[in-house]
Amino acid sequence: MWEAPKETPMNNVISLPTRALRISLVVSDPEVLNELERRDDGAAREAFATQALRLGVLALRQASGSLDADVIRREGDQLLSSVGAVLQERTSELSGALAKTMQQYLDPTSGALPQRIEQLTKPNGDLERILGEHLAGDQSVIAQTLAAHVGETSPLFKLLSPTQSDGLLATMYDSRTPHTREVLASMVNGFGDKVFHTVINRTVRFPDATVAGEPITSFDSGSMGSHSYRELAKEVLERWRQAGDDHGG
């Protein structure tokens, strides 16, 4: 039961508690009784009992907080242990699945990869067969392709061969002299479209390039002779393309 504190004379002012609670206690604990009986009955004993009660309440409150912390710590440890067990189990499952998959592909005796490698590299295997079809012998794909484009019967070979009359090139041409103009006109009249439209003009840079041991296209790439040979290359490639189209190539 709560009671308001009694008034105190003004000449003896003390700090008053804002609240007070009157309780009646029956003490039977021997140690508590022994301590209480050592104080005189009255205010001294009541003050000691009040102080002891306060210390006991504070101790119990602190103990309750420690108990809560212990519970939280224990539950946290249990949760971590459970999570660790789940992760360990999952790790074992994944490791087993990975090992099984790796064995299916990499096992030296039954794996898919070693079997495929053996099938490719063994005598008369897939790799040897493919290379044979494309590279080996005159009937291989690459041999037939080269023969069709640069072989003796190819349009390019006929254009470049000195023994063929499919392409004639006028060289050492000097438009200032009537003789060279007459020779070029005779070639065109006699051979028609077989004469290349490009002519190689006479230039002093040709002997210089010969002495230097270099082709004119690298010795003096900006000269008229270099320009003429580049134009000739374009014309040869164009005739080769047209000849290939005519032969269905």
Per-residue pLDDT tens over the stretch 62-96 = 776 666 677 677 777 887 888 888 888 888 888 88
Mean pLDDT of 202-229: 87
Q: Which of 39, 62, 85 is the last residue of a domain?
A: 62
Mean model confidence pLDDT for the chain: 77
Count of domains observed in the chain:
2
With respect to residue 48, please indicate whether it lies within any of the assigned structural domains: yes
Q: Would you say residue 78 lies in a domain?
A: no
Is residue 9, in this structure, part of any structural domain at all? no
Place of tokens 């200032």: 176
Tell me the pTM: 0.34
> Which residue's entry shows tokens 């290939």?
244
Report the pLDDT value the prediction gives residue 111, as an integer from 0 to 100: 81
The phi and psi torsions of 138 (rounded to 5 degrees) equal -70, -20
Sequence-separated (6 or more) residues with CB below 8 Å from residue 125: 118, 119
The answer to whether position 133 is within a domain reads no
In a domain, 5, yes or no: no
- Which of 43-52, 75-84, 163-172: highest mean pLDDT? 43-52
Write down which residue in 62, 84, 119 finishes a domain: 62
Question: Which residue range forms the structural domain that includes residue 215?
Answer: 152-246
Count of residues in the chain? 249
Q: CA-to-CA distance for 249 and 247, rounded, in angstroms? A: 6
* Residue 78 CA: distances (Å) to CA of 19, 64, 105, 114: 44, 21, 41, 48
Instruction: Report the C-alpha gap between 155 and 246 in whole angstroms.
Output: 10
**3-class SS at 247?**
coil
Domain membership flag for residue 193: yes
Buried b (16+ CB within 10 A) or exposed e, 80-89: eeeeeeeeee
* Any domain includes 41: yes
62, 86, 117 - which closes a domain:
62
**What are the strands, taking DSSP E only, across the chain?**
168-173, 195-201
pLDDT, residue 9, reads 45
